[in-house]
Amino acid sequence: MVNYRDLGILESITIHCDRIETVTKGLTKEEYLKNVDYREIICFHILQIGELVKHLSADFVKENKTIPWKKIAGMRDKVAHGYGTIDIEEVWKVAHKDVPVLNQYCKQILALAENQ
């Protein structure tokens, strides 16, 4: 069973994932590369997700090894401390491949908790 604090964190993570998915829906890579606003919005939400992940309990992380929690936190650090050297290609990949997987995983846990 997942504790209430972790459930709250997962709920917040899904909010940021949903926002990334909304912003990137229909967005071409070319549009993303040309528009700094899109990149900043996506990076902001990736940063928030990574910060939230750092607050998940050790027990939760240990029990849910399917998701690379440490890498997510590391991505947050890259975005936060990249000082202009953020790999925008990596951000694109994260937004399109990794975020939907994370979002689905978190929503599944939340749905299971709700039904208990």
Query: Residues 48-97: pLDDT tens digits?
Result: 999 999 999 999 999 999 999 999 999 999 999 886 788 999 999 999 99
* Residue 43: exposure state from Cβ atoms within 10 A (0-12, 13-18, ≥19): buried
Give me 20's structure tokens.
Answer: 């990334």
| Residues designated as active site | 76, 81
Range of the domain at 48: 4-114
* pLDDT per position as a tens digit, 9-59: 999 999 999 999 999 999 999 999 999 999 999 999 999 999 999 999 999
Note the pLDDT of residue 83.
62
DSSP-derived letter for residue 3 is: -
- In the chain, the number of structural domains is 1
Element at 62 (helix H, strand E): helix 58-63
pLDDT at 43: 96
Taking alpha carbons only, the member of 115, 101, 109 closest to residue 49 is 101
How many CB atoms neighbour CB 6 within 10 A? 20
